[in-house]
Structure 1
Amino acid sequence: MGSFSLVHWLIFGVIAILVLGGGRFSNMMGDVAKGIKQFKKGMAEEDETPPSRLESKRADTVIDAERERARDADR
C-alpha cells in the first residue's frame, strides 16, 4: 500500500518526460552529471592538511647540539 512497484515508477518517469519535455529533461540530467564530475574532481584533489600540534611543535623547535652541550656543561 505504501510503496510503488517498478511499473508505477516507469509510468511516473514517462509522464515526467512528457510534461518537462525531452530536451529539458536531458539538460537537467547533463547538469547533474557535470555536478557529479566536479564533486569527484574536488574529492580527488589532495588537500593540504595542517600539521598536528606535535608535528608543528617539532618543526618550530630547532635544536643546536653544541648549544645543548654547553648548557649541560654549565650545570
Structure 2
Amino acid sequence: MNPGPWGILIIAVAALLLFGRGKISSMMGEVAGGIKAFRKGMAEDDTPVAEIERNSTAEPTTVDQAKDIDRSKDA
C-alpha cells in the first residue's frame, strides 16, 4: 500500500507535534555531522594493501597499544 499525499502530510504533522521543530532540526544536524565524519574517515583511509599485509605479519599489538595508537592518530 502506497501512502498518498494526505498520508505523508499526516505523518509529517504527527512527527512535528511529537518532536517539535527544534528537535527535528538538531537531529538532522547530527545526521549530517555523522555523514561528514564518515566521509572524512573514508578519505583518510588510503593505506595501500601491501602495507597492511606487511604490518599484519609483525608481532601482534595488545589492546592498550592499539588504543594508544588510535589516540595518537586523533591528535
Same fold (TM over 0.5): yes
For 2:26, the equivalent position in structure 1 comes to 27
Alignment CA distance shift 1:37-1:4 (3 Å):
same
Amino acid at match of 2:41: G
Q: Identical aligned pairs, as a percentage?
A: 44
**SS of 2:48's equivalent?**
coil
For 2:44, the equivalent position in structure 1 comes to 45
Amino acid at match of 1:5: G
Task: Select the structure that is richer in helix.
Answer: 2
RMSD: 2.0
Alignment CA distance shift 1:12-1:41 (3 Å):
same
For 1:59, the equivalent position in structure 2 comes to none
Q: Higher Cα Rg: structure 1 or 2? A: 1
Amino acid at match of 1:13: A
Equivalenced residue count is: 52
Structure 1 segments, 4+ long, off by >3 Å, are none
Structure-2-length-normalised TM-score: 0.56
Amino acid at match of 2:32: A
Structure 1 residues without counterparts, runs of 5 or longer: 57-75
Q: Deviations along 1:41-60, whole A, 9 cap, x unmatched?
A: 112224213318xxx7xxxx
d(CA) in 2 for partners of 1:20, 1:44: 34
